[in-house]
Amino acid sequence: MKFPVELPQKRPPRFRLQIWDMDIFSANDSICEAYLSLKGLFKRAHRTKDRVIMRNKGDKRIWIDNLRHPNYEGNQGKVEVSFEVMPTAMAEQLPAGFGRSDPNMNPVLPAPEGRMIWTLNPLKMMRQIFGDKLYWKVCLCFWCIILICFLVFFGTLSC
């Protein structure tokens, strides 16, 4: 995502990250939040007038693992982010969509893994909820119960 910023800034720039859950039947709840200072990154970008990438030990991606909630103790999660600051002319040459929307480049964001796909098929939903191993065990138990009921029903008819 691209955000226009005027440099230099009077107040030290900081990035506010909030993570919320998405409820269907009730209000969305705040899970955690964190503030990240961008002062050094913006200062270097203003000095060099070129593309600047925030790095941590040579890596372009940074793990923010100090996500907290004011009402709960301890760490509430972690998220991986990357930041780049560049002149407007350079940013206009690099296409980037909002999140994973088209064009999904600069950087390319892969689809999330492990998310639940909502469907009206009860077997598919059960497999997503239970996982493969438990799903097959439940299906096996269900078919054993059906077989036993079938044998009992037809066994009593023949007597």
What would you report as the CA-atom Rg of the chain, rounded to the nearest whole angstrom? Answer: 26
Which whole-number Å values give the CA distances from 133 to 118, 120, 130, 138, 140, in the listed order? 20, 21, 8, 9, 11
User: By CB neighbour count within 10 A (0-12 exposed, 13-18 middle, 19+ buried), where does 85 fall?
Assistant: buried
pLDDT at 149: 92
Report pLDDT digits (tens) over 96-105: 877 777 877 7
- Please provide the average confidence, as pLDDT, over all residues in the chain: 85
* Cα 55 from Cα 64, distance rounded (Å): 13
Do the Cβ atoms of 77 and 32 come closer than 8 Å?
A: yes
pLDDT at 141: 95
Extended strands (E) in the chain: 14-20, 30-37, 52-53, 62-64, 79-81, 84-85
Helix (H) or strand (E) holding 157, with range, is: helix 132-158
Q: Is 23 helix (H, G, I), strand (E, B) or coil?
A: coil
Single pTM value for the model? 0.59
% of the chain exceeding 90 in pLDDT: 13
Residue 127: how many CB atoms within 10 A of its CB?
16
Q: Please, which pLDDT band fits residue 148 given cuts at 50, 70 and 90?
A: very high
Report pLDDT digits (tens) over 23-51: 888 888 888 888 888 888 888 888 888 88
* Cα 134 from Cα 73, distance rounded (Å): 34
pLDDT at 112: 79
